[in-house]
Protein backbone atom coordinates (compact mmCIF):
# COMPACT_ATOMS: atom_id res chain seq x y z
CA UNK A 1 0.00 0.00 0.00
CA UNK A 2 1.24 3.49 -0.83
CA UNK A 3 1.98 5.64 2.20
CA UNK A 4 0.54 9.12 2.76
CA UNK A 5 4.10 10.54 2.65
CA UNK A 6 4.74 9.16 -0.82
CA UNK A 7 1.59 10.82 -2.16
CA UNK A 8 2.42 14.29 -0.84
CA UNK A 9 2.60 16.86 -3.61
CA UNK A 10 6.13 17.73 -4.74
CA UNK A 11 7.63 20.63 -2.80
CA UNK A 12 9.45 22.03 -5.81
CA UNK A 13 7.84 24.15 -8.50
CA UNK A 14 6.59 22.18 -11.49
CA UNK A 15 9.23 21.81 -14.21
CA UNK A 16 8.73 23.96 -17.30
CA UNK A 17 7.85 20.76 -19.18
CA UNK A 18 5.21 18.32 -17.95
CA UNK A 19 3.58 15.16 -19.20
CA UNK A 20 5.10 13.32 -22.13
CA UNK A 21 7.41 16.26 -22.91
CA UNK A 22 8.94 16.00 -19.43
CA UNK A 23 10.08 12.43 -20.08
CA UNK A 24 11.76 13.55 -23.30
CA UNK A 25 13.67 16.48 -21.84
CA UNK A 26 17.12 15.04 -20.96
CA UNK A 27 17.89 17.75 -18.42
CA UNK A 28 14.62 17.25 -16.49
CA UNK A 29 13.95 13.57 -17.01
CA UNK A 30 14.43 11.30 -13.97
CA UNK A 31 13.12 8.15 -15.62
CA UNK A 32 11.98 5.58 -13.07
CA UNK A 33 13.18 7.83 -10.23
CA UNK A 34 10.11 10.08 -10.47
CA UNK A 35 8.14 9.62 -7.25
CA UNK A 36 4.49 8.66 -7.26
CA UNK A 37 3.58 12.17 -6.16
CA UNK A 38 5.59 13.71 -8.99
CA UNK A 39 4.01 11.37 -11.51
CA UNK A 40 0.53 12.43 -10.44
CA UNK A 41 1.29 16.13 -10.15
CA UNK A 42 3.10 16.42 -13.49
CA UNK A 43 0.94 14.23 -15.69
CA UNK A 44 3.31 11.32 -16.21
CA UNK A 45 1.46 8.67 -14.20
CA UNK A 46 0.98 5.67 -16.46
CA UNK A 47 3.76 6.79 -18.81
CA UNK A 48 6.35 4.90 -16.74
CA UNK A 49 6.45 1.41 -15.25
CA UNK A 50 4.93 1.62 -11.74
CA UNK A 51 8.12 0.85 -9.77
CA UNK A 52 9.97 3.86 -8.31
CA UNK A 53 13.72 3.27 -8.40
CA UNK A 54 16.25 5.68 -6.87
CA UNK A 55 19.27 6.88 -8.81
CA UNK A 56 21.55 4.32 -7.12
CA UNK A 57 19.57 1.47 -8.70
CA UNK A 58 19.36 3.27 -12.02
CA UNK A 59 23.16 3.57 -12.04
CA UNK A 60 23.50 -0.11 -11.13
CA UNK A 61 21.16 -1.05 -13.99
CA UNK A 62 23.29 0.89 -16.49
CA UNK A 63 26.48 -0.66 -15.09
CA UNK A 64 24.99 -4.10 -15.62
CA UNK A 65 23.78 -3.32 -19.14
CA UNK A 66 27.13 -1.92 -20.26
CA UNK A 67 29.19 -4.66 -18.61
CA UNK A 68 27.28 -7.28 -20.61
CA UNK A 69 28.34 -5.72 -23.92
CA UNK A 70 31.56 -6.97 -25.49
CA UNK A 71 32.05 -4.12 -27.97
CA UNK A 72 33.29 -0.68 -26.91
CA UNK A 73 31.45 1.12 -29.70
CA UNK A 74 28.20 -0.44 -28.51
CA UNK A 75 29.00 0.80 -25.01
CA UNK A 76 29.68 4.26 -26.43
CA UNK A 77 26.28 4.25 -28.13
CA UNK A 78 24.48 3.12 -24.96
CA UNK A 79 26.08 6.00 -23.07
CA UNK A 80 25.32 8.48 -25.86
CA UNK A 81 21.68 7.41 -25.88
CA UNK A 82 21.56 7.78 -22.10
CA UNK A 83 22.98 11.31 -22.33
CA UNK A 84 20.28 12.22 -24.86
CA UNK A 85 17.57 10.75 -22.64
CA UNK A 86 18.59 11.45 -19.02
CA UNK A 87 21.56 13.78 -18.65
CA UNK A 88 21.71 13.58 -14.85
CA UNK A 89 21.88 9.79 -14.88
CA UNK A 90 24.51 9.88 -17.65
CA UNK A 91 26.84 11.95 -15.49
CA UNK A 92 26.05 9.87 -12.40
CA UNK A 93 27.18 6.77 -14.31
CA UNK A 94 30.38 8.43 -15.60
CA UNK A 95 31.31 9.87 -12.22
CA UNK A 96 30.61 6.61 -10.39
CA UNK A 97 33.53 4.89 -12.16
CA UNK A 98 35.55 7.37 -14.26
CA UNK A 99 38.43 4.98 -14.95
CA UNK A 100 36.00 2.61 -16.70
CA UNK A 101 33.87 5.12 -18.56
CA UNK A 102 36.35 7.80 -19.70
CA UNK A 103 37.89 5.51 -22.35
CA UNK A 104 34.36 4.82 -23.62
CA UNK A 105 33.12 8.40 -23.94
CA UNK A 106 36.47 9.68 -25.20
CA UNK A 107 39.75 8.22 -26.37
CA UNK A 108 40.22 5.59 -27.63
CA UNK A 109 36.58 4.68 -28.41
CA UNK A 110 35.61 8.13 -29.69
CA UNK A 111 37.99 7.66 -32.61
CA UNK A 112 35.95 4.78 -34.00
CA UNK A 113 32.75 6.70 -33.28
CA UNK A 114 34.00 9.63 -35.36
CA UNK A 115 35.03 7.34 -38.21
CA UNK A 116 31.55 5.80 -38.28
CA UNK A 117 29.64 8.95 -37.32
CA UNK A 118 27.30 8.99 -40.30
CA UNK A 119 26.45 5.32 -39.79
CA UNK A 120 25.72 5.48 -36.06
CA UNK A 121 24.04 8.90 -35.92
CA UNK A 122 21.07 8.91 -33.54
CA UNK A 123 19.95 12.45 -32.86
CA UNK A 124 21.60 15.86 -33.15
CA UNK A 125 23.55 17.46 -30.33
CA UNK A 126 25.55 20.65 -30.58
CA UNK A 127 25.74 23.12 -33.47
CA UNK A 128 26.91 22.50 -37.03
CA UNK A 129 28.14 25.61 -38.83
CA UNK A 130 28.58 24.78 -42.56
CA UNK A 131 30.57 26.93 -44.94
CA UNK A 132 27.35 27.28 -46.94
CA UNK A 133 25.99 29.41 -44.07
CA UNK A 134 28.81 31.99 -44.12
CA UNK A 135 27.39 35.40 -43.36
CA UNK A 136 24.70 33.84 -41.11
CA UNK A 137 26.72 32.18 -38.35
CA UNK A 138 25.33 34.42 -35.62
CA UNK A 139 21.81 33.44 -36.69
CA UNK A 140 22.61 29.73 -36.55
CA UNK A 141 24.37 30.05 -33.18
CA UNK A 142 21.35 31.88 -31.77
CA UNK A 143 19.26 28.75 -32.33
CA UNK A 144 21.01 27.10 -29.37
CA UNK A 145 18.50 27.10 -26.46
CA UNK A 146 20.96 28.11 -23.73
CA UNK A 147 21.79 31.81 -23.79
CA UNK A 148 24.67 31.81 -21.27
CA UNK A 149 27.31 29.63 -22.90
CA UNK A 150 30.66 29.63 -21.10
CA UNK A 151 32.52 26.90 -23.01
CA UNK A 152 32.66 25.97 -26.65
CA UNK A 153 34.78 23.09 -27.87
CA UNK A 154 35.05 23.47 -31.63
CA UNK A 155 36.69 21.42 -34.38
CA UNK A 156 36.80 21.55 -38.15
CA UNK A 157 37.33 17.79 -38.21
CA UNK A 158 40.55 17.83 -40.22
CA UNK A 159 42.89 16.06 -37.82
CA UNK A 160 40.80 13.86 -35.56
CA UNK A 161 43.18 12.19 -33.09
CA UNK A 162 45.64 10.32 -35.31
CA UNK A 163 42.91 9.33 -37.77
CA UNK A 164 43.00 12.29 -40.14
CA UNK A 165 40.26 14.23 -41.93
CA UNK A 166 36.83 13.00 -40.78
CA UNK A 167 34.90 16.16 -41.68
CA UNK A 168 31.58 16.55 -39.88
CA UNK A 169 32.21 13.22 -38.14
CA UNK A 170 34.61 15.14 -35.93
CA UNK A 171 31.60 16.23 -33.83
CA UNK A 172 32.33 13.24 -31.60
CA UNK A 173 35.37 15.08 -30.26
CA UNK A 174 33.61 18.21 -28.89
CA UNK A 175 30.82 16.01 -27.52
CA UNK A 176 33.30 13.81 -25.67
CA UNK A 177 35.50 16.65 -24.45
CA UNK A 178 32.58 18.57 -22.96
CA UNK A 179 31.22 15.45 -21.29
CA UNK A 180 34.58 15.22 -19.52
CA UNK A 181 34.45 18.92 -18.56
CA UNK A 182 31.46 17.97 -16.44
CA UNK A 183 32.32 14.43 -15.35
CA UNK A 184 35.91 15.18 -14.37
CA UNK A 185 35.77 18.73 -13.00
CA UNK A 186 32.14 19.57 -12.38
CA UNK A 187 31.56 22.23 -15.05
CA UNK A 188 27.74 22.47 -15.23
CA UNK A 189 26.68 20.93 -18.58
CA UNK A 190 24.18 23.67 -19.44
CA UNK A 191 27.09 26.07 -20.01
CA UNK A 192 28.77 23.83 -22.61
CA UNK A 193 28.30 23.88 -26.39
CA UNK A 194 29.95 21.49 -28.91
CA UNK A 195 30.47 22.90 -32.42
CA UNK A 196 31.73 21.72 -35.80
CA UNK A 197 32.94 24.23 -38.38
CA UNK A 198 32.11 22.24 -41.51
CA UNK A 199 34.27 23.57 -44.33
CA UNK A 200 34.19 20.29 -46.26
CA UNK A 201 36.44 17.25 -46.26
CA UNK A 202 39.25 16.00 -48.47
CA UNK A 203 38.59 12.36 -47.56
CA UNK A 204 37.14 10.93 -50.75
CA UNK A 205 35.63 7.88 -49.06
CA UNK A 206 33.46 10.23 -47.00
CA UNK A 207 32.44 12.30 -50.01
CA UNK A 208 31.40 9.06 -51.74
CA UNK A 209 29.51 7.74 -48.69
CA UNK A 210 25.75 8.22 -49.08
CA UNK A 211 25.42 8.37 -45.27
CA UNK A 212 28.03 11.11 -44.78
CA UNK A 213 26.40 13.97 -42.87
CA UNK A 214 28.62 16.92 -43.73
CA UNK A 215 29.03 19.39 -46.56
CA UNK A 216 29.85 17.33 -49.63
CA UNK A 217 32.78 19.33 -51.03
CA UNK A 218 36.53 19.61 -50.69
CA UNK A 219 37.90 21.77 -47.89
CA UNK A 220 37.91 25.54 -48.10
CA UNK A 221 41.38 27.07 -47.67
CA UNK A 222 43.07 30.44 -47.48
CA UNK A 223 41.30 33.75 -47.00
CA UNK A 224 37.82 32.22 -47.22
CA UNK A 225 38.65 29.83 -44.38
CA UNK A 226 40.15 32.61 -42.24
CA UNK A 227 37.14 34.85 -42.80
CA UNK A 228 34.82 32.00 -41.83
CA UNK A 229 36.69 31.43 -38.54
CA UNK A 230 36.70 35.18 -37.88
CA UNK A 231 32.94 35.31 -38.39
CA UNK A 232 32.52 32.41 -35.97
CA UNK A 233 34.64 34.09 -33.28
CA UNK A 234 32.81 37.40 -33.72
CA UNK A 235 29.44 35.65 -33.40
CA UNK A 236 30.52 33.88 -30.22
CA UNK A 237 31.84 37.09 -28.70
CA UNK A 238 28.56 38.86 -29.48
CA UNK A 239 26.20 36.15 -28.24
CA UNK A 240 28.27 34.72 -25.37
CA UNK A 241 30.65 37.41 -24.03
CA UNK A 242 31.85 35.24 -21.11
CA UNK A 243 32.61 32.24 -23.32
CA UNK A 244 35.96 30.44 -23.58
CA UNK A 245 36.67 28.76 -26.93
CA UNK A 246 38.69 25.54 -26.95
CA UNK A 247 40.08 24.65 -30.40
CA UNK A 248 40.31 20.92 -31.00
CA UNK A 249 41.80 18.70 -33.72
CA UNK A 250 42.61 21.30 -36.35
CA UNK A 251 45.43 20.54 -38.81
CA UNK A 252 48.78 22.02 -37.78
CA UNK A 253 48.80 24.65 -40.53
CA UNK A 254 45.49 26.01 -39.17
CA UNK A 255 45.84 25.23 -35.46
CA UNK A 256 49.00 27.28 -34.88
CA UNK A 257 47.90 30.49 -36.67
CA UNK A 258 44.38 30.34 -35.19
CA UNK A 259 45.80 30.20 -31.67
CA UNK A 260 48.27 32.98 -32.46
CA UNK A 261 45.49 35.11 -33.97
CA UNK A 262 43.14 34.96 -30.98
CA UNK A 263 45.07 34.07 -27.83
CA UNK A 264 45.69 37.70 -26.82
CA UNK A 265 42.25 38.93 -27.88
CA UNK A 266 39.76 36.50 -26.33
CA UNK A 267 39.55 33.77 -23.71
CA UNK A 268 40.75 30.76 -25.70
CA UNK A 269 43.19 27.86 -25.86
CA UNK A 270 44.07 24.90 -28.05
CA UNK A 271 44.00 21.66 -26.13
CA UNK A 272 46.07 19.73 -28.68
CA UNK A 273 48.86 22.28 -28.30
CA UNK A 274 48.56 23.60 -24.75
CA UNK A 275 46.62 20.90 -22.93
CA UNK A 276 48.89 18.19 -24.33
CA UNK A 277 51.88 20.29 -23.31
CA UNK A 278 50.51 20.68 -19.79
CA UNK A 279 49.94 16.98 -19.25
CA UNK A 280 53.34 16.10 -20.74
CA UNK A 281 55.05 18.57 -18.42
CA UNK A 282 53.13 17.10 -15.48
CA UNK A 283 54.39 13.63 -16.38
CA UNK A 284 57.96 14.86 -16.70
CA UNK A 285 57.80 16.60 -13.32
CA UNK A 286 56.55 13.40 -11.68
CA UNK A 287 59.14 11.30 -13.55
CA UNK A 288 61.93 13.48 -12.15
CA UNK A 289 60.87 12.43 -8.67
CA UNK A 290 61.93 8.92 -9.72
CA UNK A 291 65.22 9.97 -11.31
CA UNK A 292 66.10 12.56 -8.66
CA UNK A 293 67.15 15.03 -11.37
CA UNK A 294 66.28 18.64 -12.16
CA UNK A 295 64.13 19.72 -15.10
CA UNK A 296 66.82 22.14 -16.28
CA UNK A 297 69.28 19.24 -16.73
CA UNK A 298 67.03 17.22 -19.05
CA UNK A 299 67.24 16.74 -22.80
CA UNK A 300 64.12 15.64 -24.68
CA UNK A 301 63.75 14.29 -28.20
CA UNK A 302 60.33 14.43 -29.86
CA UNK A 303 59.16 12.04 -32.55
CA UNK A 304 56.90 14.36 -34.52
CA UNK A 305 57.32 18.07 -35.14
CA UNK A 306 53.77 19.37 -35.47
CA UNK A 307 51.75 21.62 -33.21
CA UNK A 308 51.58 19.06 -30.38
CA UNK A 309 55.35 18.52 -30.35
CA UNK A 310 56.24 22.20 -30.55
CA UNK A 311 53.58 23.00 -27.95
CA UNK A 312 55.11 20.55 -25.47
CA UNK A 313 58.64 21.67 -26.30
CA UNK A 314 57.77 25.32 -25.78
CA UNK A 315 55.97 24.76 -22.46
CA UNK A 316 58.82 22.59 -21.18
CA UNK A 317 61.27 25.30 -22.27
CA UNK A 318 59.25 27.96 -20.43
CA UNK A 319 59.16 25.75 -17.33
CA UNK A 320 62.94 25.33 -17.53
CA UNK A 321 63.30 29.12 -17.82
CA UNK A 322 61.00 29.51 -14.81
CA UNK A 323 63.50 27.31 -12.93
CA UNK A 324 66.42 29.53 -13.91
CA UNK A 325 67.57 28.33 -17.33
CA UNK A 326 68.22 30.64 -20.25
CA UNK A 327 65.19 30.31 -22.58
CA UNK A 328 67.27 29.90 -25.75
CA UNK A 329 69.35 27.17 -24.06
CA UNK A 330 66.15 25.52 -22.79
CA UNK A 331 64.78 25.36 -26.33
CA UNK A 332 68.02 23.72 -27.50
CA UNK A 333 67.36 20.98 -24.94
CA UNK A 334 64.12 20.12 -26.77
CA UNK A 335 64.88 18.58 -30.17
CA UNK A 336 62.33 17.52 -32.79
CA UNK A 337 62.44 14.73 -35.39
CA UNK A 338 60.00 14.39 -38.31
CA UNK A 339 59.66 12.44 -41.54
CA UNK A 340 62.67 14.28 -43.00
CA UNK A 341 64.90 13.69 -40.00
CA UNK A 342 66.14 15.80 -37.11
CA UNK A 343 65.12 19.46 -37.28
CA UNK A 344 68.44 21.20 -37.87
CA UNK A 345 69.23 24.80 -38.78
CA UNK A 346 70.40 23.79 -42.26
CA UNK A 347 66.96 22.53 -43.31
CA UNK A 348 64.93 24.77 -45.62
CA UNK A 349 61.53 23.14 -45.05
CA UNK A 350 60.87 24.31 -41.48
CA UNK A 351 57.78 26.28 -40.50
CA UNK A 352 58.26 29.36 -38.35
CA UNK A 353 56.84 27.63 -35.27
CA UNK A 354 59.45 24.84 -35.64
CA UNK A 355 62.53 27.02 -36.07
CA UNK A 356 63.16 27.80 -32.35
CA UNK A 357 63.89 24.09 -31.81
CA UNK A 358 66.19 23.49 -34.78
CA UNK A 359 69.54 22.04 -33.69
CA UNK A 360 72.82 23.51 -34.92
CA UNK A 361 74.31 20.23 -36.12
CA UNK A 362 74.62 18.04 -39.20
CA UNK A 363 71.52 16.19 -40.46
CA UNK A 364 70.43 12.98 -38.73
CA UNK A 365 68.08 10.82 -40.78
CA UNK A 366 66.97 7.99 -38.47
CA UNK A 367 65.41 8.29 -35.05
CA UNK A 368 67.71 5.78 -33.38
CA UNK A 369 70.72 7.74 -34.72
CA UNK A 370 69.19 10.90 -33.25
CA UNK A 371 68.89 9.15 -29.87
CA UNK A 372 72.54 8.13 -29.99
CA UNK A 373 73.70 11.58 -31.16
CA UNK A 374 71.68 13.75 -28.76
CA UNK A 375 71.63 11.33 -25.77
CA UNK A 376 68.22 12.50 -24.53
CA UNK A 377 66.92 11.67 -21.07
CA UNK A 378 63.43 11.24 -22.51
CA UNK A 379 61.67 10.60 -25.80
CA UNK A 380 58.13 11.83 -26.49
CA UNK A 381 56.08 10.44 -29.35
CA UNK A 382 53.46 12.64 -31.02
CA UNK A 383 53.87 11.28 -34.54
CA UNK A 384 50.57 9.32 -34.82
CA UNK A 385 52.66 6.59 -36.50
CA UNK A 386 52.66 3.30 -34.56
CA UNK A 387 55.69 1.23 -33.57
CA UNK A 388 58.36 3.87 -34.25
CA UNK A 389 59.70 3.46 -30.71
CA UNK A 390 61.31 0.20 -31.82
CA UNK A 391 63.30 -2.23 -29.72
CA UNK A 392 66.50 -0.62 -31.02
CA UNK A 393 65.27 2.82 -29.92
CA UNK A 394 64.22 1.69 -26.43
CA UNK A 395 67.45 -0.26 -25.91
CA UNK A 396 69.49 2.78 -27.00
CA UNK A 397 67.60 4.93 -24.47
CA UNK A 398 68.20 2.32 -21.76
CA UNK A 399 71.92 2.20 -22.52
CA UNK A 400 72.18 6.00 -22.11
CA UNK A 401 69.93 6.42 -19.04
CA UNK A 402 69.47 4.50 -15.83
CA UNK A 403 65.75 5.46 -15.93
CA UNK A 404 64.83 6.36 -19.53
CA UNK A 405 61.64 8.41 -19.92
CA UNK A 406 59.48 6.87 -22.65
CA UNK A 407 56.26 8.74 -23.55
CA UNK A 408 54.42 7.39 -26.64
CA UNK A 409 51.60 9.93 -26.61
CA UNK A 410 49.90 9.34 -29.97
CA UNK A 411 46.19 8.50 -29.94
CA UNK A 412 44.26 6.25 -30.32
CA UNK A 413 45.91 3.05 -29.07
CA UNK A 414 46.46 1.79 -32.62
CA UNK A 415 48.71 4.81 -33.27
CA UNK A 416 50.88 4.52 -30.16
CA UNK A 417 54.63 4.57 -30.87
CA UNK A 418 55.05 1.52 -28.60
CA UNK A 419 53.12 -0.42 -26.00
CA UNK A 420 53.75 -0.37 -22.28
CA UNK A 421 54.88 -3.99 -22.36
CA UNK A 422 57.44 -3.24 -25.07
CA UNK A 423 58.85 -0.23 -23.21
CA UNK A 424 59.22 -2.14 -19.95
CA UNK A 425 60.57 -5.36 -21.49
CA UNK A 426 63.10 -3.70 -23.79
CA UNK A 427 64.42 -1.51 -20.96
CA UNK A 428 64.59 -4.37 -18.45
CA UNK A 429 61.88 -2.72 -16.37
CA UNK A 430 63.76 0.59 -16.03
CA UNK A 431 61.59 2.77 -18.28
CA UNK A 432 59.46 5.54 -16.82
CA UNK A 433 56.45 5.15 -19.06
CA UNK A 434 53.32 7.10 -19.93
CA UNK A 435 51.15 6.87 -23.03
CA UNK A 436 48.36 8.80 -24.68
CA UNK A 437 45.94 5.88 -24.66
CA UNK A 438 45.41 3.40 -21.82
CA UNK A 439 47.45 0.21 -21.45
CA UNK A 440 46.87 -2.53 -18.85
CA UNK A 441 49.33 -3.29 -16.03
CA UNK A 442 52.44 -5.24 -17.01
CA UNK A 443 54.22 -8.02 -15.09
CA UNK A 444 57.97 -8.36 -15.70
CA UNK A 445 60.24 -10.63 -13.66
CA UNK A 446 57.74 -10.71 -10.81
CA UNK A 447 57.34 -6.95 -10.68
CA UNK A 448 54.05 -5.19 -11.49
CA UNK A 449 54.04 -1.92 -13.42
CA UNK A 450 50.99 0.35 -13.79
CA UNK A 451 51.33 2.46 -16.95
CA UNK A 452 50.28 6.08 -16.64
CA UNK A 453 48.06 7.67 -19.26
CA UNK A 454 49.17 11.16 -20.23
CA UNK A 455 45.61 12.14 -20.89
CA UNK A 456 44.70 15.81 -21.30
CA UNK A 457 41.68 15.03 -19.12
CA UNK A 458 43.85 15.98 -16.12
CA UNK A 459 44.23 19.49 -17.60
CA UNK A 460 41.40 20.83 -19.77
CA UNK A 461 38.39 20.11 -17.47
CA UNK A 462 40.24 21.73 -14.55
CA UNK A 463 41.17 24.67 -16.76
CA UNK A 464 37.50 24.95 -17.68
CA UNK A 465 36.37 24.89 -14.05
CA UNK A 466 38.91 27.57 -13.13
CA UNK A 467 37.84 29.78 -16.04
CA UNK A 468 34.16 29.22 -15.20
CA UNK A 469 34.63 30.14 -11.55
CA UNK A 470 36.80 33.21 -12.14
CA UNK A 471 35.23 34.34 -15.43
CA UNK A 472 38.79 34.68 -16.73
CA UNK A 473 39.39 37.04 -19.64
CA UNK A 474 42.38 35.10 -21.00
CA UNK A 475 44.09 31.69 -20.85
CA UNK A 476 47.89 32.02 -20.68
CA UNK A 477 50.84 29.64 -21.07
CA UNK A 478 51.74 30.12 -17.41
CA UNK A 479 48.34 28.71 -16.44
CA UNK A 480 49.33 25.40 -18.03
CA UNK A 481 52.59 25.32 -16.09
CA UNK A 482 50.60 25.94 -12.89
CA UNK A 483 48.25 23.11 -13.92
CA UNK A 484 51.15 20.74 -14.62
CA UNK A 485 52.67 21.29 -11.18
CA UNK A 486 49.24 20.84 -9.58
CA UNK A 487 48.79 17.49 -11.33
CA UNK A 488 52.30 16.25 -10.55
CA UNK A 489 52.13 17.10 -6.86
CA UNK A 490 49.16 14.75 -6.47
CA UNK A 491 51.16 11.68 -7.50
CA UNK A 492 51.84 9.71 -4.31
CA UNK A 493 54.91 7.69 -3.40
CA UNK A 494 52.69 4.61 -3.63
CA UNK A 495 51.82 5.56 -7.21
CA UNK A 496 55.48 6.09 -8.08
CA UNK A 497 56.45 2.72 -6.60
CA UNK A 498 54.56 0.94 -9.40
CA UNK A 499 55.64 3.39 -12.09
CA UNK A 500 52.43 5.42 -12.15
CA UNK A 501 53.29 9.08 -12.77
CA UNK A 502 49.77 10.50 -12.94
CA UNK A 503 47.05 10.50 -10.27
CA UNK A 504 44.83 7.41 -10.60
CA UNK A 505 41.91 8.07 -12.93
CA UNK A 506 39.58 6.71 -10.28
CA UNK A 507 40.36 9.94 -8.36
CA UNK A 508 40.04 12.25 -11.36
CA UNK A 509 37.32 14.48 -9.88
CA UNK A 510 39.20 15.43 -6.73
CA UNK A 511 42.42 15.75 -8.74
CA UNK A 512 40.73 18.12 -11.18
CA UNK A 513 39.18 20.26 -8.46
CA UNK A 514 42.64 20.62 -6.87
CA UNK A 515 44.13 21.68 -10.22
CA UNK A 516 41.24 24.11 -10.79
CA UNK A 517 41.89 25.71 -7.40
CA UNK A 518 45.56 26.31 -8.26
CA UNK A 519 44.74 27.77 -11.67
CA UNK A 520 41.97 29.96 -10.24
CA UNK A 521 44.34 31.37 -7.61
CA UNK A 522 46.79 32.26 -10.39
CA UNK A 523 44.01 33.91 -12.43
CA UNK A 524 43.02 36.08 -9.46
CA UNK A 525 46.66 36.85 -8.62
CA UNK A 526 47.39 38.05 -12.16
CA UNK A 527 44.28 40.21 -12.48
CA UNK A 528 42.79 38.04 -15.25
CA UNK A 529 39.48 37.41 -13.44
CA UNK A 530 36.25 39.21 -14.19
CA UNK A 531 34.63 37.78 -11.05
CA UNK A 532 35.31 39.18 -7.57
CA UNK A 533 37.99 37.32 -5.63
CA UNK A 534 36.46 35.36 -2.73
CA UNK A 535 38.04 34.83 0.66
CA UNK A 536 38.15 31.08 0.04
CA UNK A 537 38.78 30.04 -3.58
CA UNK A 538 38.42 26.35 -2.78
CA UNK A 539 35.02 26.88 -1.20
CA UNK A 540 33.87 28.92 -4.20
CA UNK A 541 34.87 26.22 -6.67
CA UNK A 542 33.33 23.43 -4.64
CA UNK A 543 30.12 25.41 -4.33
CA UNK A 544 29.89 25.76 -8.11
CA UNK A 545 30.73 22.21 -9.18
CA UNK A 546 27.98 20.18 -10.80
CA UNK A 547 27.00 17.02 -9.00
CA UNK A 548 24.49 14.67 -10.65
CA UNK A 549 21.45 14.63 -8.40
CA UNK A 550 17.77 14.82 -9.16
CA UNK A 551 15.89 17.86 -7.85
CA UNK A 552 13.64 17.02 -4.93
Q: Which of 91, 106, 424, 550 is catalytic?
A: 106
Helix axes 87-96, 72-85, angle to 10 degrees: 140
Q: Which of 177, 212, 409, 502 is catalytic?
A: 177
Q: Strands 151-155, 268-270: parallel, antiparallel or unpaired by DSSP?
A: unpaired
Q: What phi and psi values does residue 447 have, to the nearest 5 degrees?
A: -110, 140
Judge contact between 117 and 205, C-beta under 8 A.
no
Q: Please list the helix, strand and coil fractions of the chain in percent, rounded to the nearest 5, in that order.
A: 50, 10, 40
| DSSP category for residue 271 | I
Q: Where are the beta strands (DSSP E) in 243-390?
A: 244-247, 268-270, 300-303, 334-338, 341-342, 378-381
The per-residue DSSP string of 406-468 comes to EEE--SSGGG-SS-HHHHHHHTTT--EEEESS----EEETTEEE--EE--GGGTHHHHHHHHH
Strand partners, 193: 152
- Whether 75 is catalytic is no
Long-range pairs for 524-532 at CB < 8 Å and ≥24 separation?
524/470, 526/476, 526/478, 528/470, 528/472, 528/473, 528/474, 528/476, 529/470, 529/471, 529/472, 529/473, 530/242, 530/470, 530/471, 530/472, 530/473, 531/469, 531/470, 531/471
Tell me if residue 106 falls in helix, strand or coil: coil
Q: Which residues contact 209 (CB under 8 A, 6 or more apart)?
A: 118
Euclidean distance between CA atoms 237 and 244, whole angstroms: 9
Residue count of the chain: 552
- Whether 106 is catalytic is yes
Tell me if residue 283 falls in helix, strand or coil: helix
Cis ω for the linkage preceding 108 (within 30 of 0): yes
CA 534-535-541 angle, to 5 degrees, is 55
Q: Which residues contact 222 (CB under 8 A, 6 or more apart)?
A: none
Alpha-carbon distance values, 236 to 26, 105, 130, 139, 186 (Å): 25, 26, 15, 11, 23
Euclidean distance between CA atoms 26 and 475, whole angstroms: 32
Catalytic amino acids?
106, 177
Amino acid sequence: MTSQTELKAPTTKPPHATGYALLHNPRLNKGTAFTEAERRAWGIEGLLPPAVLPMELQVARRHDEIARLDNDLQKYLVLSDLQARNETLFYAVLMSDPATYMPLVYTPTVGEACQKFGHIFRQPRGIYLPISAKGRLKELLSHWPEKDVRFIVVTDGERILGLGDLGAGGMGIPLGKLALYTACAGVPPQYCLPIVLDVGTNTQSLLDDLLYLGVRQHRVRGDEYTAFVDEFVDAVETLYPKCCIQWEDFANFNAVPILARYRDKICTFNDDIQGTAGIALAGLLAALRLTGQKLTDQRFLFLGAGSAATGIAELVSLAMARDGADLAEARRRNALFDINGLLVTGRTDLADFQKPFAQDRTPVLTFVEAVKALRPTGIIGVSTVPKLFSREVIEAMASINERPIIFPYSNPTSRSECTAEEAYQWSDGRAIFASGSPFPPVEIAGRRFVPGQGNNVYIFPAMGMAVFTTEASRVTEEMFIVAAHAVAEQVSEENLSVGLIYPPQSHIFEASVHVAERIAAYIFDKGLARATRPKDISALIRAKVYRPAYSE
